[in-house]
Structure 1
Amino acid sequence: MITIVDYGGGNLTSVARAVSFLGFTPCITGDADEIRTADRIIFPGVGAAGAAMTAMEQGGIDLAMKEAFNAGVPMLGICVGCQIIMDQSQENDAVCLGLIPGEVRAFPQRMPSPEGGRLKVPHMGWNGLTVIRDHPLLQGVKKDDEFYFVHSYFPVPKDEGAVFGTTDYGVSFTSALGMDNLFATQFHLEKSGEPGLLILKNFCVWKPC
C-alpha cells in the first residue's frame, strides 16, 4: 500500500494512476492517523507553499508527517511536496515542515537565456537532470533523460550532502534531494514518462538503511 497525502495540492489522481500502473496499490488520504501509520508515503502537490502548509496544519497532517519521518517511513515528495520539506519558503513567507534544513527561493524574474533574451518564469516544460551522487531512487536514470517541470521556486538545502541532482535553468538549482528515509524531486514524476516512472518504481520498493 502506497499512501498518497491529500493536503489540497492537486495531482493526486495522476500520481495514484502512475502507482497503479506500476503494479502497486495507492491510497489517497488526508487523515492524519492514516498518514501517521502508513508503510510508505508520497506527498505530491500543485499550488502554493503557504496554502499547502495551512491545510496541513489544520488537519494535523504536518505533525503526522514529522512523526512518520522520525519513525523511518520511506517518504517521497514531488514538486510542492519537494519544497515544503524545507524549513521555510519565500513563497508566502511560509514556515514549512523542516524535515531537511534549508529554504525555498524564487527564480529571478529576469534571467538571461544562453541564446539571448530572457527565460520565462515559471520554469515550465522538459529539462535534464545532472546526478550529483548515487541514490537508490536514481538507479537506472540516464544522462540524457528529461523530466517535466512546472515551478517558480526551488529548494536550497543547507547541507550539500542532501543534494542528489541539479538542473540548469538560468541558474543551477537542486532538483533532487534527500536525507535518510526521505527523497524528493522538483520535477513531476507522474508526468515525466518512463524516467519518472522508473524513479517512482524505485521508491515503491526502496528500503532505506
Structure 2
Amino acid sequence: MKKIAIIDYGAGNLRSVHKSFLKVSNNKHEIIVTSNYHHVLNADYVVLPGVGAFGDCMNGVLALNGMADTIKEVVLNQKKPFMGICVGMQLLAEKGFEYGEHKGFGFFKGNITKIDGKGLKIPHMGWNELNLNFEHEVFSSVESGKSHVYFVHSYHLTDFDEKEVIATTDYGNQKIVAAVLKDNIIGLQFHPEKSQEVGLNIIKNFINWG
C-alpha cells in the first residue's frame, strides 16, 4: 500500500484535504497528516497545503525540525510526486512579497505578488474555469474552458516560466496562473478539495501518477 503524506505545519485546510484524499483513495493508500519529516521521507506522495500569508506559512515549515530539507530531498533527489495547494503552491516559487519579502523553495520560476485589484474584488474568491496550456495525465479529466474550480487568494504567481504553467484562469482582464507543473511537482493555486468532481479527479489522478 502506497503512502501519502500531507504536511501539517499549522497553516492548511487539513481536514478537507485529508478527507478528499481519503475519498478518492478508496482505501488503496495509507494517508497521514504529519509534521514529522521521517513520515515525509518514507511517503510515496507528498502534499503541501496552505492557507494564510506566504511568510507565516514559510516560517511554519521552517519551524518543523528537518522538514524544509526533507521537502527539498523528496522533490529534487527522490523525485517523488509532490503537490502544493494554494499557499502551498506559492511556497514553491522563488520569492513571496506578502507583508515583506520572503524566500520560497524556488522549485518553480517566479514570484508571488498581489493581484492588481483595479475594478476587481480582492481576494479573488469563487469558481473560475481552467484553460489548459498542455496536456498531462493529472489533468486528463479537465475540460479546458469548461471545467471550473474554486479559488480563494489575493496573491498570485508572476514572472513565471511559460513552459511550467499548465493552466490559467481569467479574472476580469487578468490572466491568473491556476496551476504549474514541472517534472514530479504540481502546484495548484485553486483548492481541489473544494472543487467538487473536477478537484477530486485531479487528486485521484495525482495519487495514481508515477
Q: Any idea what SS the aligned residue of 1:195 has? A: helix
* Residues 3 and 41, structure 1, Cα contact 8 Å, conserved in 2: yes
Q: What secondary structure, in the 3-state scheme, does the structure 2 residue paired with 1:197 have?
A: helix
Shift of 1:140: 1.5
Q: Distance in 1 between matches of 2:109 and 2:115?
A: 20
Classify the secondary structure of the residue corresponding to 1:119.
coil
Aligned to 1:99: 107
Q: Mapping of 1:21-100 within 5 angstroms?
A: 21-22=23-24, 23=26, 24-59=29-64, 60-70=66-76, 71-92=78-99, 93-100=101-108
Q: Per the alignment, in what secondary structure is the counterpart of residue 50 of structure 2? A: coil
Matching residue within 162, 166, 169 for 2:168 = 166
1:73 CA displacement: 0.7
Superposed displacement of residue 31, structure 1: 0.9
Write the letter of the residue equivalent to 2:93: M
Alpha-carbon distance in structure 2 between the residues aligned to 1:180 and 1:58 = 27
Identify the residue that residue 133 of structure 2 maps to in structure 1. Answer: 132
Bigger shift: residues 159-168 or 148-157: 148-157
- What is aligned with 2:186? 183
Question: What's the offset of the Cα at 1:98?
Answer: 1.1
Long gaps (5+) in structure 1: 112-117
- Once the two structures are superposed, residues 89-141 of structure 1 have per-residue CA deviations (whole angstroms, 9 ceiling, x without a partner) of 111311111111211111113x2xxxxxx210000011111001111111021
Q: For residues 179 and 162 of structure 2, what CA distance do their matches in structure 1 show?
A: 12
How many pairs are equivalent? Answer: 200
Return the offset for 1:184.
1.2
SS at match of 1:206: coil
Q: What CA RMSD, in Å, does the superposition of the two structures yield over aligned residues?
A: 1.2
8 Å Cα contact 2:85-2:187 kept in structure 1: yes
Mapped partners of 1:98, 1:105: distance in 2: 15
Contact 2:129 2:148 in 1 (8 A): yes
SS of equivalent residue, structure 2 residue 63: helix
> What letter matches 2:137 in structure 1?
P
Tell me what 2:13 maps to.
11
1:36 and 1:194 map into 2 onto residues whose CA distance is 30
Instruction: Compute the displacement of 1:178 (Å).
Output: 1.1
Q: What is the TM-score with the length of structure 1 in the denominator?
A: 0.92
Identity of aligned residues (%): 38
Gaps of 5+ in 2: none
Matched, 1:108 2:116: yes
Secondary structure, aligned partner of 2:157: strand
CA–CA distance in structure 2, aligned partners of residues 81 and 205 of structure 1: 21
4+ residue stretches of structure 1 with deviation over 6 A?
none
TM-score, reference length from structure 2: 0.91
